[in-house]
Structure 1
């Protein structure tokens, strides 16, 4: 009799193209905000953040630029779809946007491995991805329990790899549960990698 081997406690990743958003306008808006955001530029420099992020300086992007309001409306739909797939019992209280910020990563820049505490679903939509721009690197959350495990074969299926690299295209959105550790390896493109990241919470 053949053994019954099945997956348990699966980590889900959502990827889709975000329709109804003008990504050329969004890119221009990201640069306009960057040029005016002296506090964000200063924070990025003081904290060794490569390039620019509005994470610590601006909290009202959808109010400042209508294109960000368009983006949030589309993200709300994607997050609701992902929450349903995850089987969340939201008790009639939908997940709501908590934070949204711009990342402009120049050639040679990287974002170290991290999680997004105090949020439920996190994600990124991609505004500019020149040839050679970094993929998103996702880490198996069970690493701390794998004290004596041998490495995975390079040809092992994706859902059994220790790290998964996802190379999104402009207009794609990636969503994951906020506890999932992830990073952006060094940007090898000559151009700037631009993304908009966000967190959704509940309750």
Structure 2
């Protein structure tokens, strides 16, 4: 006779949300980003052969960006309510920047600051029939030294790929190491990345409500 119990620990929550009928919205965002790219020389961080804006996009007055900020705050609120059943108000600070990858561009492995990070895909370009990994974002197992014990039977140390779609938001813990495979399709891969800092309020018996505490600069 046995008494067994299997407990799964240290699960990493990665969430996606897709905005339906996002074509016009994305065209507005794309114009904002490409116009900014003309006057902003950008910075080199994890990006290689790609442009990374220097400014916090949410400090720029724009109907499209204001709409995106509202979508992101709501998604963060919903994400938190799934993980924490306490009925507390969610207060957040957001900072966002644009990324444009031309053909051959990619992002090196990196992590982010804050509590949560994410990306909204404005335009994913055309797929490359010769390269199924073109422009894919990849997350690695965050557990220390886990790659040394990977095996056929256990997926310890496995990496997980996500195929970007226009209108998709990806949200994940900021500590999670990730990178982007070289984009080898036609067109451009345009995305808006963001960091989220959670402000811990006194817990109150109210429903979870997205309330923006302010904007932090990049």
Is TM more than 0.5 here?
yes
Which contiguous aligned blocks of 4+ residues in structure 1 show a shift greater than 4 angstroms?
Answer: 88-91
> Is the CA contact (8 Å cut-off) linking 1:20 and 1:70 kept in structure 2?
no
Partner of 2:149: 149
CA RMSD in angstroms comes to: 2.6
| Aligned residues between the structures | 190
> Is structure 2 residue 62 aligned with structure 1 residue 59?
no
Give the whole-Å Cα distance in 2 for the aligned partners of 1:34 and 1:78.
27
Give the whole-Å Cα distance in 2 for the aligned partners of 1:90 and 1:96.
19
2:108 paired residue among 92, 106, 112: 112
Specify the SS of the correspondent of 1:106: strand
Give the whole-Å Cα distance in 1 for the aligned partners of 2:78 and 2:47.
36
Name whichever structure is richer in helix by fraction: 1
Partner of 1:50: 49
2:187 paired residue among 170, 184, 191: 191
1:125 paired residue among 114, 120, 140: 120
Specify the SS of the correspondent of 1:180: coil
- Which TM-score applies when normalising by structure 2? 0.76
Task: Give the alignment of 1:27-106 within 5 angstroms.
Answer: 27-37=30-40, 39-40=41-42, 43-44=43-44, 49-54=48-53, 57-87=54-84, 92-97=89-94, 99-106=95-102
The gaps in structure 1 that reach 5 residues or longer are none
> Is the CA contact (8 Å cut-off) linking 1:152 and 1:161 kept in structure 2?
no
Name whichever structure is richer in strand by fraction: 2
C-alpha spacing 1:48/1:138, structure 2 compared with 1 (3 Å): closer
- Which TM-score applies when normalising by structure 1? 0.82
Give the whole-Å Cα distance in 1 for the aligned partners of 2:190 and 2:177.
20
1:111-134 per-position Cα deviation (integer Å, ceiling 9, x unaligned): 0011112x0110000011121341
